[in-house]
Amino acid sequence: MERQRIMRALALSRENTLIELMGSLGDIPPFEYLRRPQKGLIMVKARADAKNQAFNLGEALATRCSVNLNGKAGHAYVLGDEPEKCLAAALADALAQDERFRPEIERIALCLEADMARARALEVQKTQKTKVDFFTLVRGEDAD
Amino acid sequence: MYVAVKGGQKAITEAHKLLEETRRGDLSVPEISLAQIQNQMGLAVDRVQAEGSLYAPKLAALATKQAKGDLVEAIFLLRAARASLKRFGYSEPIETASMRARRRVSGTFKDIPGGQILGPTFDYTHRLLKRSLMDGGQAPPGGAPIPIAKGPGAQPGADGLGGELLGVATILEREGILETVGTAPEDGEPFDLTRQPLEVPLARPGRLQALARADEGFLLALAYSSQRGFGSVHPFVAELKLGPVELGFRAPELGMPITVGEIEVTECQTANQFKGGAGKPPMFTRGYGLTFGHNERKALSMAIVDRALRAGELGEAIKGPAQNPEFVLYHGDNVEASGFVSHIKLPHYVDFQAELSMLRAMRKKFNGSGGPPEPDDKDE
């Protein structure tokens, strides 16, 4: 499993789900902060006409955190003011680089993806019910 | 000038206490929570985020609560909060083509790939007050909370519901009737209004940033004026959609783009009649609107004004305010506008004294030269 895919699952997770799953790991090695959870801004870029020149839409609040765990640097950036979720994600990123913990972190990432898939499936199901078929009326003189 | 005024500290402190008291209101009524504002006043929160130019739903809900529901004041609070935070960097451009659309409609074609999805819309409602929403009424059930996953699901990794749909603008473009655009080569970061002064003429990326954070009412009025003939734009909604998009960010310590989360946006693409000119044949031309959150009136107005502001580039005569970049860009920001308009409430005693003595001198001179007499005080 690619590092980017794991980081995506961590970033898109719901905070309580991630913390609960990380809690299931049991004892993890001690870590030190390379950077404590810190709030900041990411300027969101978009494209004119969806695909033309880039422009700045506005900023998004984000949290970042970096840890050192057994010599492995774990990093995380997540949207919102989410210090606990961000720390959990940085720890998971560091642990994923450790052979002993990698299978467990991959399992957690799969759980998070499945959680997300369930939520999205529910959303799609509700949205699809609002799909409409507009039809234009055929005028009398055209209908022969 | 109001620097010559001193004192009033005690009265100001008491006024702030009273403000807090009126914000809270009757103590026998339960206090509103941020979660309630975020969930049940979502469109207010979205407007505050869009015009506050900061995607932060919790902070926008807090600002709305603190501002007693005055959204322009809440926008001001959010802009101020943003000013104290460090900038991590610029995101990768969001890909609205891969949005998981919760709403997607077109005013140009009834049959679009993926179909028309009405989603949560006020369109086609009867605009009748619902008695069921009154206190004690039988309100319809809301969305149930989604339970926490306990293990990997049946389809691990399969979250790609929705998927990329062929955009209506792309269909029109392939037919050759809508102006063609392509991804422009990147030359550093785009113009940034938060770091560079706004000067006209301003290229389209800068204009779009200014419009994205401009006042909704101002853009709505401009769009309306343009449709009514003050610098005519004849827009069709090629596609209007709402939904979450993933935000990618290339963190310096990682050297690769990572997903940091999702933001909800509203996007509107318009196709506008164009008779040809400036070396271009008759065709439909584009207008683009994009906002944080669910703000479709704003996104549509923005697309109309974006197109109107392209008048110069397309060789059209500038006939209305919506086509005038200086007029639009310098007056659309409601934090600046309300600051400048409202500051005259503050003491201007010295200014006014100066004007008053000048006016008295002028009137004395006027009366001395045999002009009409002063109005009788009794008439006032």
CA distance B286 to B295: 20
Q: Tens of pLDDT along chain B (380 residues)?
A: 455 567 789 999 999 999 999 999 999 999 999 999 999 999 999 999 999 999 999 999 999 999 999 999 999 999 999 999 999 999 999 999 999 999 999 999 888 888 899 999 999 999 999 999 998 777 667 766 666 555 554 443 333 345 667 888 988 888 888 988 877 667 788 999 999 999 999 999 999 999 999 999 999 999 999 999 998 778 999 999 999 999 999 999 999 999 999 999 999 999 998 888 878 889 999 999 999 999 999 999 999 999 999 999 998 999 999 999 999 999 999 999 999 999 999 888 889 999 999 999 999 999 987 666 555 555 43
**Quick one: B30 and B61 in the same domain?**
yes
Of the residues A36, A125, A127, the best mutation for testing chain B's interface (the one with the most B CB atoms within 10 Å of its CB) is: A127
User: Does a structural domain hold residue B76?
Assistant: yes
Supply the range of the domain harboring residue A33. Answer: 3-142
* Cα B294 → chain centroid: 10
Q: What is the DSSP letter of B85?
A: S
Query: Which chain A residues in 51-110 lie under 8 Å from chain B, judged by CB atoms?
Result: 51-62, 64, 66, 73, 75, 77-81, 107, 110
CA distance B94 to A44: 8
Contact A42, B91 (CB under 8 A): yes
Of the residues A49, A52, A65, the best mutation for testing chain B's interface (the one with the most B CB atoms within 10 Å of its CB) is: A49
**Quick one: B286 and B318 in the same domain?**
yes
Residues of B with Cβ-Cβ distance to A92 under 8 angstroms: none
How many interchain CB pairs under 8 A, A with B? 263
Asked if the C-beta of A122 comes within 8 angstroms of chain B's C-beta atoms, the answer is yes
Asked if the C-beta of B204 comes within 8 angstroms of chain A's C-beta atoms, the answer is yes
CA distance A91 to A88: 5
User: Does a structural domain hold residue B243?
Assistant: yes
Smallest Cβ distance to A41: which of B87, B97, B254?
B87
In 3D, which of B94, B101, B271, B268 has the Cα closest to residue B171?
B271
Supply the range of the domain harboring residue B202. Answer: 96-119+165-180+195-339
Contact B235, B271 (CB under 8 A): yes
CA distance A63 to B139: 37
C-beta neighbour count of B191 within 10 angstroms: 22
Nearest CA distance, A93 vs chain B (angstrom): 11
Q: Which residue of A has its CA nearest to B153?
A: A114
List the Cα angle A50/A56/A60 in 5-degree steps.
Answer: 105
Whole-number Cα distances in Å, B380 to B93, B366, B374, B376: 63, 21, 12, 8
Nearest CA distance, A71 vs chain B (angstrom): 15
Interchain pair A54, B186: CB under 8 A = yes
Q: Which residue of B has its CA nearest to A38?
A: B86
Task: Give the residue carrying structure tokens 């301003």.
Answer: B202
Interchain pair A45, B184: CB under 8 A = no
Strand pairing of B103-105 and B235-250? antiparallel
* Cα B289 → chain centroid: 10
User: Does a structural domain hold residue B129?
Assistant: no
* Cα B315 → chain centroid: 28
**Quick one: B16 and B75 in the same domain?**
yes
User: Does a structural domain hold residue B351?
Assistant: no
**Quick one: B60 and B170 in the same domain?**
no
Mean pLDDT rounded to a whole number for chain A:
93
pLDDT of residue B90: 97
Smallest Cβ distance to A124: which of B89, B90, B162?
B162
pLDDT of residue A116: 95
At B37, the amino acid letter reads I
Interchain pair B94, A120: CB under 8 A = no
**Quick one: B112 and B233 in the same domain?**
yes
User: Does a structural domain hold residue B142?
Assistant: no
CA distance B60 to B74: 7
Q: Which residue of A has its CA nearest to B242?
A: A127
Q: Which two tokens stand for residue B27?
A: 């103590």
Asked if the C-beta of B248 comes within 8 angstroms of chain A's C-beta atoms, the answer is no
Low pLDDT (below 50) residues in chain A: 143-144
Residues of A with Cβ-Cβ distance to B49 under 8 angstroms: 58
User: Does a structural domain hold residue B35?
Assistant: yes
User: Does a structural domain hold residue B157?
Assistant: no
CA distance B330 to B168: 33
**Quick one: B247 and B284 in the same domain?**
yes
CA distance B44 to A97: 43
CA distance A3 to B302: 39
* 3-state DSSP of chain A: CCHHHHHHHHHHCCHHHHHHHHHCCCCCCCEEEEEEEEEEEEEEEEEHHHCCCEEEEEEEEEEEEEEEECCEEEEEEEECCCHHHHHHHHHHHHHCCCCCCHHHHHHHHHHHHHHHHHHHHHHHHHHHCCEECCCCCCCHHHCC
pLDDT of residue B258: 97
**Backbone φ and ψ of B288, nearest 5°:** -135, 135
Interchain pair A110, B213: CB under 8 A = no
C-beta neighbour count of B70 within 10 angstroms: 14
Contact B227, B323 (CB under 8 A): no
Contact B84, B66 (CB under 8 A): no
pLDDT of residue A140: 57
Number of domains forming the structure of chain B: 2
* 3-state DSSP of B268-282: EEEEEEECCECCECC
CA distance B24 to B7: 28
**Quick one: B36 and B109 in the same domain?**
no
CA distance B292 to B295: 7
Residues of B with Cβ-Cβ distance to A49 under 8 angstroms: 169, 181, 269, 286, 288
pLDDT of residue B281: 86
pLDDT of residue B7: 77
What is the complex's ipTM, to 2 decimals? 0.93
Give the 3-state secondary structure of residue B267.
strand
C-beta neighbour count of B192 within 10 angstroms: 16
**Quick one: B203 and B316 in the same domain?**
yes
Interchain pair A127, B102: CB under 8 A = yes
Residues of B with Cβ-Cβ distance to A43 under 8 angstroms: 87, 89-91, 192, 194
**Quick one: B203 and B64 in the same domain?**
no
Contact B239, B271 (CB under 8 A): no
Number of domains forming the structure of chain A: 1
Residues of A with Cβ-Cβ distance to B204 under 8 angstroms: 48, 53, 55
User: Does a structural domain hold residue B149?
Assistant: no
Residues of A with Cβ-Cβ distance to B55 under 8 angstroms: 44, 58-61, 79
Strand pairing of A131-132 and A72-79? unpaired
